[in-house]
Chains A and B, each alone.
Chain A
Amino acid sequence: AQTVTQSQPEMSVQEAETVTLSCTYDTSENNYYLFWYKQPPSRQMILVIRQEAYKQQNATENRFSVNFQKAAKSFSLKISDSQLGDTAMYFCAFIFNSGGSNYKLTFGKGTLLTVNP
């Protein structure tokens, strides 16, 4: 079974600075997707960014980008120009792209990010 590990339970960053959240995963499969979800205090899980495992190019979405290292099974999230609204719990998640379980998201334990003014 696949596992997702986020080794940083909490992090903080000053407004306008850059922060990187770590995520590692373990799977024997080759065809999968990785996601970062954001959960603010409102509890609403919001997709931040996704990465297809077969793509070598790292995904970017405005101020959010990932560093995907497939061989190392690492998937870190970089937030540039941090804003107060980025304060939230961030979850790394994994899903298969084929087979019988390509609908179950497996989540890490989350990293609580606080952006300080």
Chain B
Amino acid sequence: GAGVSQSPSNKVTEKGKDVELRCDPISGHTALYWYRQSLGQGLEFLIYFQGNSAPDKSGLPSDRFSAERTGGSVSTLTIQRTQQEDSAVYLCASSFGQGIYEQYFGPGTRLTVT
């Protein structure tokens, strides 16, 4: 079946602009995750959604970052007033549940802030 999809694949934006990154999880997966992969910091957890529970936003680096998940499916990560340090690959993953359940990753969105 279809895997996790993300759009756009690449995004170049000017400093100060807002961007939206989209993630389509695997159908039936109740858990959805966002991670950020950057040269300096490696892979970092950003946010976690599980069903209708309140998301864990503890990994979001600043209040310029927000995410939502509509109808328990598609998720959007929004970065307001982008800064050059936001340049990174943003990876989305989904899974059936927590812990041992495999997190299936999408191909990521490469964000470049100029």
Contacts and interface: CB of A to CB of B under 8 A. Distances in A.
* Chain A interface SS verdict (over half): loop
Interface residues of B, number: 23
Interface residues of A, number: 24
Interface string A92-117: 00011110001111111110000000
Interface in A14-35: 33
Contact of A45 (B45, B59, B91): B91
Contacts of A97: 99-100
A45 B114 CA distance: 26
B31 A103 contact: yes
A50 B45 contact: no
Interface of B: 31, 33, 35, 42-43, 45, 48, 50, 56, 59, 89, 91, 93, 98-100, 102-103, 105-108, 110
Interface of A: 33, 37, 42-47, 50, 52, 91, 95-98, 102-110
